[in-house]
């Protein structure tokens, strides 16, 4: 159903804000940083933290909340968006970074693997995961929906097995930082928290 809605909205502009309206929905908020150790199964990122922006995006009822996140992320160069949930098993991406915008509902997500942290996310929150960051949905409301997107470089993969680990540890540090923060663009905290050197 979400895929059909997305196609109709893109074709017609229905339930999507225009560019000026979109930027009024972005709220200034603190970048919450979380750093996780390599636990031998989930490598996490050796230098860059998971970033959570709590309540970063207002979601007015007149717009489809998923469309708001898609347009916001795309505006800042994060594309290949999708609408769904978060897998209920531990996994990570070793060759690409990921952003998750919570469009509806709430969920408890284990970030960073078994030695990581359980964080409750809710509509309007954004999580930016550097390559290697473990994530797993532990529970969610029935209406939970996220929009995921990626920078314009890197290769999507899903790592779930111990045998994925050696290649992942080698590839994660080579995934370059994005050009823009997916929420705040060129002025976003991400550019400071994920430095190029």
Q: In what order do the strands lie in the sheet with 135-140?
A: 117-122, 106-111, 135-140
Convert the pLDDT of each residue in 132-154 to its tens digit. 999 999 999 999 999 999 999 99
Q: Are 156 and 196 in contact (CB under 8 A)?
A: no
The answer to whether residue 7 scores a pLDDT higher than 70 is no
Supply the mean pLDDT for the chain.
Answer: 93
What's the mean pLDDT in 90-98? 98
Q: CB neighbours (10 Å) of residue 84?
A: 13
Q: How confident is the model at residue 8 (pLDDT cuts 50, 70, 90)?
A: very low
Segment 33-60, tens digit of pLDDT:
999 999 999 999 999 999 999 999 999 9
Output the pLDDT for position 18: 87
pTM for the predicted model, two decimal places: 0.91
Neighbours of 165 (CB within 10 A): 17
Cα distances (angstroms) measured from residue 61 to each of 13, 83, 86, 146: 16, 18, 24, 17
Query: pLDDT tens across 64-93, in order?
Result: 999 999 999 999 999 999 999 999 999 999
Residue 181 has pLDDT above 90, yes or no: yes
pLDDT of residue 12: 44
Confidence of residue 2 (pLDDT cuts 50, 70, 90): low
Domains of the chain: 2-193 (2.60.120.10)
Average pLDDT on 22-35 reads: 95
Specify the pLDDT at position 14: 57
């Amino acid at each position: 159903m979400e895929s059909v809605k997305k196609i109709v909205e893109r074709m017609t502009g229905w339930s999507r804000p225009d560019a000026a309206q979109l930027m009024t929905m972005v709220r200034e908020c603190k970048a919450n940083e979380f750093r996780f150790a390599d636990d031998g199964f989930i490598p996490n990122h050796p230098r860059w933290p998971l970033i959570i922006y709590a309540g970063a995006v207002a979601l007015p009822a007149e717009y489809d909340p998923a469309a708001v996140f898609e347009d916001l992320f795309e505006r800042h160069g994060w594309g290949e968006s999708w609408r769904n949930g978060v897998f209920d098993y531990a996994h990570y991406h070793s060759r690409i970074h990921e952003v998750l915008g919570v469009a509806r509902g709430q969920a408890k997500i284990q970030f960073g693997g078994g030695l990581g942290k359980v964080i409750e996310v809710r509509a309007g929150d954004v999580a930016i995961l550097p390559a290697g960051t473990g994530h797993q949905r532990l529970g969610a409301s029935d209406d939970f929906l996220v929009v995921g997107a990626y920078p314009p470089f890197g290769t999507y993969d899903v790592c779930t097995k111990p045998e994925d680990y050696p290649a992942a540890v080698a590839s994660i540090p080579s995934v370059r930082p994005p050009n823009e923060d997916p929420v705040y663009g060129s002025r976003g905290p991400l550019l400071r928290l994920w430095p190029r050197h």
